[in-house]
Homo-oligomer: A and B are copies of this chain.
Amino acid sequence: MTLLQSWVESANSADTDFPLNNLPYGVFETDSLEPRCGVAIGDMILDMAAMEEEGLIDLAEEPVFDVPYWNDVMELGPDGWAALRDRLTGLLSADAPDQAQVAPHLVPMAEARMHMPLVVTEFTDFYAGKHHATNIGTMFRGAENALPPNWLHIPIGYNGRASTVVVSGTPIVRPNGQTKAPDAGMPSFGPSKRLDIELEMGAIVGTSSEMGQPVTVAQADEMIFGYVLLNDWSARDIQPWEYQPLGPFQAKAFATSISPWIVTRAALEPFRTSTPERERELLPYLREPGPMLYDIELEVTMAPEGKDPSTIARTNYNQMYYSAAQQLAHHASSGCAMNAGDLLGSGTISGPEKDQRGSLIELSWGGKEPITLDSGETRTFIEDGDTMTLKGAARGDGYRIGFGSCTSTIKPAVKFP
């Protein structure tokens, strides 16, 4: 596929994240507009509430854009999603007849403030990056026991906390928590000293499944509405003390950030790729009928307060051992009901090389090997005032499907009551 031409000029650049090929979904407000659904096109946002009010978009009997989240569109199901994408492509393509009616509903992105694009019903985080799992396992349990015995058979995951999933730009307050040094007699409580990111992709479930009813991997793929960048903030000193035997809890519960634009599965279709060859044969319920992963280039930057960002890692979503469709099929395998608005984190995405690692605990090898930023400063973990940014894009022939960015600045911990 090549770059599709739009009458919105800024969408026709090879450098934009948001060509006509993309059309991602977000929620925005401006000084004069209340929060509402919008579609990114070049450096503009199409106001979907206004488009629906004017009758230019007419998806269902009841309005779906009178609310500031995309969950109502999800409820329309895959046919509705396809109809919307067709309509938008028609309205915004270079030869569209309705330009004069549509143009007044374009808002400059520079004037918009972004909100959460969906109501997250529940959040599940997986652990499906083999390089990451091996790195972390080596640090926590030694090289011989790096990969847990179940890892090659199950897309390991845990339920996260939906109440603290926030949109890019939201400051993150350093968490307090219990930690215990191996040689300390008692735990202590205070601000985390090992605050970290996890570079992930988030898959958004768009159609629901019934309690008691599993889904196949093929059905799971069809249930996915779209993808976002996801930063699974982690307190590396809280986690080792609390996580046995029931898994991570407060080390992760304080915040998860996502990028503001949901990139649809349809936009990513040309970039499908297969998960790597299996090292152990999977059980039938987890086998993929086709390529279910995507070739999406990812990078992480870190900027101390007042300094320019330094790129600290580059990797690709194609490094995952399990796809989101496999994760979703596993999630529903027990009969767990899945809902439109459920968010599935991929797990940290690290490549095989040292500069392809998607977390600071890997990049600084547990804090033992500080990384040096372009400013000359060094870091093992995140300091107050640092800004962490994730970026991602799938690259086509003369265009790219961009995810925008997922960026947050760290604020000091609150003093405890």
Contact = CB atoms under 8 A, between A and B. Distances in A.
Contacts of A245: 137, 140, 148, 156, 243, 247
A101 interface: no
Contacts of A186: 153, 280-281
A216 B249 contact: no
Contacts of A153: 178, 180, 186-187
A192 to B, nearest CB: 8
11 contacts: A153-B178, A153-B186, A153-B187, A156-B245, A158-B159, A164-B211, A173-B335, A177-B333, A186-B280, A212-B414, A254-B334
Interface of A is mostly: loop
A304 B246 CA distance: 32
A22 interface: no
Interface residues of A, number: 71
A284 B253 contact: no
A251 to B, nearest CB: 8
A166 B336 CA distance: 12
Interface in A208-226: 211-216, 219
Interface string A156-185: 111111111010000001011110100000
Interface of A: 121-122, 127, 137, 140, 148, 150, 153-154, 156-164, 166, 173, 175-178, 180, 186-189, 211-216, 219, 235, 238, 241-251, 253-255, 280-281, 283-285, 330-331, 333-339, 342, 411, 414, 416-417
Given A153-B178, A158-B249, A164-B335, 12 more contacts: A150-B178, A154-B178, A159-B253, A163-B337, A163-B339, A164-B336, A164-B337, A173-B211, A214-B416, A247-B247, A250-B334, A285-B417
B254 A336 contact: yes
A284 B417 CA distance: 10
Contacts of A411: 212
Contacts of A246: 127, 156-158, 243, 247-248
5 smallest CB-CB distances across A and B, nearest first, come from A247-B247, A159-B159, A173-B212, A253-B336, A250-B334
B241 A163 contact: no
Contacts of A160: 159
Nearest to A339: B163
Contacts of A333: 176-178, 189, 250
Nearest to A281: B186
A163 to B, nearest CB: 4
Contacts of A285: 189, 416-417
